[in-house]
C-alpha cells in the first residue's frame, strides 16, 4: 500500500491525484483501526501519518510560534490563580464538575481552532478532565511523580523511563516513547522537566516540558539510528502539559492540558487526516487518564491492604 501511495505522487493528472487520495484514505483508516487504543497522550501526534511525509527540519519561525503559544498558555494558568478566578476549567461553566464526577471524563480540544496552524507547523492542544473518588492529591502525586514506573503504568506507549531526581526546583526524567503499530517503527528519546507547585492544601498545579527530543529512525531494526535533534519526520517536535489538581467532593478533580507541536499536514491530505488526528488525540488522552486512574486505584488498594496487615 505504501509503495502505491508513494508512486501515485508522481502522476500529474487529476485522475491519478484522486486515486492517490483514495489510497491514502484507505491506508489512514487501516492505520487508525490498529492504533486507536494506544496508551500515552504524548504520542498522540506520532500516531499519525507514519509514512506519508518525508524528512523535515524544525524551522526557527515554527519554534518561535511554539514558544509564544506556551507563554500564552502559561499566562492563562497564572490567571487562574488570581483572586476571584476559577482554578479549574470545570468551574468556568455550571454543571461541568458534576458531569465528570457522575458521568466520566471530559476530553476535547481547548478551542475550535485546534489544531492551530503556525508557520510550517501545527499546535495540538487538548484538555482532559476527570474525577478520582476517595483519593487525595498526595495519592495522585505519588503516581504522577514516580517517573521510573512510567514504563509500567503507560504501556505500550512508554517503553523506558528513568528519573534523574530534581535540580531543586524541577523534576528531571527521561522517556523513550514508541509506536509499535505503524508500518515503520519510530521511537522518540525525550528529556523532560516538570515543576509541581502547591497553591494550598487542596490545590496543586504542574507544568511539564520536553527539553530535548530525538527521533530514533527505524526503531528495533538493524538500521536503527538516532537522528539529530529537530530533524526527522516532524510528527512530534515539542511536548508540553499543564496539570491542575483540586481536592474536594470526596476526591480529586484533575485536569490535564496536553500540548504538542508537529509539522504541518500537507494540504492535499488535510481533509482526510484532520478528523483522524482529532479522534486519535481524544482516544489517546482518554487512555492516558484511564491508565493514571488505574495506577492510583492500585496504589490505594495496596496501601489499604498494607495498613490492615499492620
Helix (H, G, I), strand (E, B) or coil at 309: helix
Say whether pLDDT at 29 is over 70.
Answer: no
**Percentage of residues in the chain with pLDDT exceeding 70?**
68
Fold designation for 39-309: Alpha-D-Glucose-1,6-Bisphosphate; Chain A, domain 4 (3.30.530)
Domains of the chain by residue range: 1-35, 39-309
Q: Which of 141, 177, 143 shows the shortest CA–CA distance to 294? A: 143
Q: CB within 8 A of 52, min separation 6: which ones?
A: 5, 24, 27, 266, 269
Distance CA 40, CA 156 (A): 8
> What confidence score (pLDDT) does residue 26 get?
46
Which residue's entry shows cell 523511563? 161
Distance CA 13, CA 192 (A): 47
Distance CA 284, CA 275 (A): 14
Per-residue pLDDT tens digits for 108-122: 888 888 889 999 998
> What confidence score (pLDDT) does residue 307 get?
37
Q: H-helix or E-strand containing 274?
A: helix 267-309
Asked if the peptide bond before residue 115 counts as cis, ω within 30 degrees of 0, the response is yes
Distance CA 248, CA 202 (A): 7
Q: Which of 43-47, 76-80, 146-150, 168-172 has the lowest mean pLDDT?
A: 43-47
**DSSP state letters, 154-206:** TTTTEEEEEEEEESSSSEEEEEEEEE-SSSS-EEEEEEEEEEEEEEETTEEEE
- Quick one: cell of 78? 497564572
For the chain, state the CA radius of gyration: 20
Amino acid at each position: 500500500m505504501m509503495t502505491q501511495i508513494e508512486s501515485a505522487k508522481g502522476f500529474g493528472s487529476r485522475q491519478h491525484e484522486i486515486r492517490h487520495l483514495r489510497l491514502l484514505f484507505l491506508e489512514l483508516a487501516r492505520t487508525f483501526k490498529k492504533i486507536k487504543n494506544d496508551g500515552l497522550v504524548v504520542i498522540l501526534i506520532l500516531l499519525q501519518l507514519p509514512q506519508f511525509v518525508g524528512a523535515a527540519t524544525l524551522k526557527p519561525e515554527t519554534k518561535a510560534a511554539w514558544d509564544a503559544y506556551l507563554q500564552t498558555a502559561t499566562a492563562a494558568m497564572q490567571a487562574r490563580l488570581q483572586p476571584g478566578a476559577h482554578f479549574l476549567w470545570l468551574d468556568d461553566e455550571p454543571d461541568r464538575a458534576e458531569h465528570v464526577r457522575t458521568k466520566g471524563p471530559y476530553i476535547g480540544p481547548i478551542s475550535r481552532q485546534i489544531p492551530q496552524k503556525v508557520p510550517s507547523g501545527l499546535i495540538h492542544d487538548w484538555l482532559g478532565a476527570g474525577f478520582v473518588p476517595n483519593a487525595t492529591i498526595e495519592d495522585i502525586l505519588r503516581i504522577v511523580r514516580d517517573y521510573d514506573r512510567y514504563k509500567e503504568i503507560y504501556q505500550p506507549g512508554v517503553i523506558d523511563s528513568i528519573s534523574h531526581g530534581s535540580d531543586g526546583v524541577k523534576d528531571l526524567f527521561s522517556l523513550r516513547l514508541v509506536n509499535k503499530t505503524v508500518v515503520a517503527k519510530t521511537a522518540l528519546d525525550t528529556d523532560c522537566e516538570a515543576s509541581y507547585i502547591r497553591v494550598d492544601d487542596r490545590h496543586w498545579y504542574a507544568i511539564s516540558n520536553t527539553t530535548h527530543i530525538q527521533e530514533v529512525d527505524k526503531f528495533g531494526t538493524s538500521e536503527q539510528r538516532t537522528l539529530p535533534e529537530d530533524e526527522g519526520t516532524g510528527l512530534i517536535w515539542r511536548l508540553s502539559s499543564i496539570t491542575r489538581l483540586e481536592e474536594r467532593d470526596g476526591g480529586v478533580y484533575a485536569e490535564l492540558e496536553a500540548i504538542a507541536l508537529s509539522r504541518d499536514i500537507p494540504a492535499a491530505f488535510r481533509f482526510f487526516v484532520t478528523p483522524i488526528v482529532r479522534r486519535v488525540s481524544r482516544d489517546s488522552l482518554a487512555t492516558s487518564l484511564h491508565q493514571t486512574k488505574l495506577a492510583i486505584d492500585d496504589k490505594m488498594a495496596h496501601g489499604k491492604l498494607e495498613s490492615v496487615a499492620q
